């Protein structure tokens, strides 16, 4: 237990520096039973509990809100990989295991835990689950929710839910696992999980494409999936305006194509299949040749305008470096508001077209990237003239975006969650029947409202 100011400071502030809140103490239990004792004690005293694992979220979900006497319950000491079952392809882990540590541990067994995003060196499994984290290979493996077979959690009454099964089928009652996943600690504290593992890819192929339009991109995704057998691991949208911003701030990065790609796609396929890794006629591997041939046909049909195929690990790294420099470049380029939205795949093009038009009209400069294969866009509203940012009608632009999302049946929070930052938005925009259902569940499972209060539901 930590109570003195310097020791608790890293816990009471989130990593963006935007959210902070005082805590009576930071407690660091070592087992689910200890978590249960802490929750029981807090329930008796009416003290709020803010669970925290890697504290890498960007919605302020893992730090206290000052209106309540709170403790931070850090899961960082619960950091054991409890078991790896190589044959069943599952791992049983504590909630405080760092994502990358799990990935390293299973690699020794020729397996992967596929969840992939920037903060994986400090994000922990408990937080991944509580926020249903996404990332760049959801198109193949799904969100964190899809990677989890069972959980252990401590509920608001101090009871322990022992759901650490590795079952692929289980119809014994309500789906409590998925209710707790993505609940951001407001219904209970996830203390452990059984997760799915996958075979390590034996071969990869990566390319950067200039494609005819966003609608063409969806067609290309389907064609590549069918031709190469659902091997697409990344289908990332990086259009020319974003490439320009990156090149401005990272002059050492080269443009992937000689001509600007209005609709640029970073495409990666990977396979654990033996024959995909076999040597093909051109000396490369079969999957790589398969992708080259698919791209040749797509260029002939006019869907792909230009393509750069990474012929070395160095070239592949350059492409990913481009993708991973996006956020830093946009941040360096001036003020911007970031939307994290999702659309049905066939409405993505409509959303971008209508948004771009409106944003430009109002003096914004849209900088959009996204996990296009999931219909997930990170749409940043920068200023056409950064000096005039303060005068731009940001609220009106946001309302326009949220209205448009509602019309297109999209989501105003695709993968980053709600936390503090979008709690008001949820209250305003979530369908009333669903909001009422959420409130009823919250009230039933945490009547004292001690589990991460002020997050998600306000």
The one among 3, 7, 44, 230 contacting a copy of itself by CB under 8 A? 230
Residues in 402-421 that interact with a copy of itself by CB under 8 A: 409-418
The one among 274, 301, 317, 360 contacting a copy of itself by CB under 8 A? 274
CB of 183 to a copy of itself, least distance (A): 6
The one among 16, 45, 104, 222 contacting a copy of itself by CB under 8 A? 222
CB of 272 to a copy of itself, least distance (A): 5
Nearest-angstrom CA–CA distance, 441 and 447 = 9
Q: Which is nearer to a copy of itself, 121 or 199 (CB)?
A: 199
225 binds a copy of itself (CB under 8 A): yes
Q: Quick one: tokens of 180?
A: 């707790």
Residues in 158-197 that interact with a copy of itself by CB under 8 A: 159-176, 178-179, 181-183, 187
Residues in 422-441 that interact with a copy of itself by CB under 8 A: 422, 426, 429-438, 440-441
91 binds a copy of itself (CB under 8 A): no
Q: Which is nearer to a copy of itself, 103 or 376 (CB)?
A: 376
Residues in 279-298 that interact with a copy of itself by CB under 8 A: 290
Which is it for strands 203-211 and 304-309: parallel, antiparallel or unpaired? antiparallel
Q: Which is nearer to a copy of itself, 209 or 392 (CB)?
A: 209
Q: Which is nearer to a copy of itself, 13 or 178 (CB)?
A: 178
Q: Quick one: tokens of 37?
A: 């004792």
CB of 340 to a copy of itself, least distance (A): 9
Q: CB-hemisphere CA count at 13 Å for 107? A: 8
Contacts of 432 (CB under 8 A, 6+ apart): none
Q: Which is nearer to a copy of itself, 20 or 227 (CB)?
A: 227
CB of 357 to a copy of itself, least distance (A): 23
- Strand ranges of the sheet holding 48-52, from the earlier edge strand across to the other edge: 25-27, 70-74, 48-52
Residues in 119-138 that interact with a copy of itself by CB under 8 A: 131-132, 134, 138
CB 451 within 8 A of CB 186: yes
Nearest-angstrom CA–CA distance, 64 and 52 = 10
CB of 445 to a copy of itself, least distance (A): 6
Q: Quick one: tokens of 169?
A: 């089928």
Residues in 318-377 that interact with a copy of itself by CB under 8 A: 342-346, 371, 373-376
- Strand ranges of the sheet holding 376-383, from the earlier edge strand across to the other edge: 304-309, 203-211, 264-271, 232-237, 364-371, 376-383, 336-342
Q: What are phi and psi of 423, to 5 degrees?
A: -65, -40
CB of 314 to a copy of itself, least distance (A): 27
3-state secondary structure of 143: coil
Q: Which is nearer to a copy of itself, 211 or 228 (CB)?
A: 228
37 binds a copy of itself (CB under 8 A): no
- The vertex-215 CA angle with 212 and 217, nearest 5°, equals 65
Count of positions (residues) in the chain: 458
Q: How far is CA 267 from CA 213, 260, 387, 400, 436, in A?
A: 15, 17, 36, 31, 41
């Amino acid at each position: 237990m930590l109570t003195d100011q310097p020791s608790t400071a890293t816990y009471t502030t989130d990593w963006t520096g935007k959210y902070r809140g005082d805590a009576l103490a930071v407690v660091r239990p070592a087992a689910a039973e200890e978590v249960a004792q802490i929750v029981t004690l807090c329930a008796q005293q009416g003290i709020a509990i803010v669970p925290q694992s890697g504290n890498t979220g960007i919605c302020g979900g893992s730090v206290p809100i000052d209106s309540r006497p709170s403790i931070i319950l850090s899961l960082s000491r619960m950091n054991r990989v409890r078991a790896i079952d190589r044959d069943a392809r599952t791992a049983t882990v504590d909630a405080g295991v760092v994502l990358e540590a799990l990935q390293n541990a299973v690699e020794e067994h020729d397996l992967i835990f596929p969840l992939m995003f920037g903060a994986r060196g400090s994000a922990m499994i408990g937080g991944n689950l509580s926020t249903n984290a996404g990332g760049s290979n959801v198109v193949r493996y799904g969100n964190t929710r899809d990677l989890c077979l069972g959980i252990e959690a401590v509920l608001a009454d101090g009871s322990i839910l022992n759901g650490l099964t590795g079952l692929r089928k289980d119809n014994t009652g309500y789906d409590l696992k998925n209710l707790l996943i993505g609940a951001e600690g407001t219904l209970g504290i996830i203390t452990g999980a059984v997760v799915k593992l996958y075979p390590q890819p034996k071969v990869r192929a990566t390319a950067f494409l200039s494609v005819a339009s966003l609608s063409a991109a969806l067609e290309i995704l389907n064609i590549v999936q069918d031709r190469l057998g659902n091997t697409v691991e990344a289908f990332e949208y990086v259009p020319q305006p974003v490439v320009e911003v990156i090149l401005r701030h990272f002059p050492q990065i080269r443009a992937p194509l000689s001509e600007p790609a209005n609709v640029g796609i970073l495409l990666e396929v990977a396979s654990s299949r033996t024959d995909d890794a076999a040597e093909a006629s051109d000396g490369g591997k079969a999957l790589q040749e398969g992708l080259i041939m698919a791209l040749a046909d797509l260029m002939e049909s006019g869907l792909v305008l230009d393509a750069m195929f990474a012929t070395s690990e160095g070239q592949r790294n350059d492409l990913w470096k481009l993708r991973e420099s996006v956020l830093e470049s946009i941040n360096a380029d001036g003020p911007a508001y970031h939307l994290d939205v999702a659309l049905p795949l066939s409405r993505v093009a409509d959303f971008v077209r209508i948004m771009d038009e409106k944003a430009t009209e109002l003096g914004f400069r849209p900088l959009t990237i996204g996990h296009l294969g999931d219909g997930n866009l990170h749409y940043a509203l920068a200023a056409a003239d950064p000096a005039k940012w303060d005068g731009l009608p940001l609220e009106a632009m946001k309302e326009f975006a949220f209205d448009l999302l509602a019309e297109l049946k999209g989501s105003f929070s695709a993968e980053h969650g709600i936390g503090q930052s979008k709690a008001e938005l949820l209250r305003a925009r979530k369908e009333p029947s669903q909001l009422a259902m959420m409130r009823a569940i919250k009230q039933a499972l945490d009547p004292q409202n001690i589990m991460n209060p002020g997050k998600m539901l306000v």
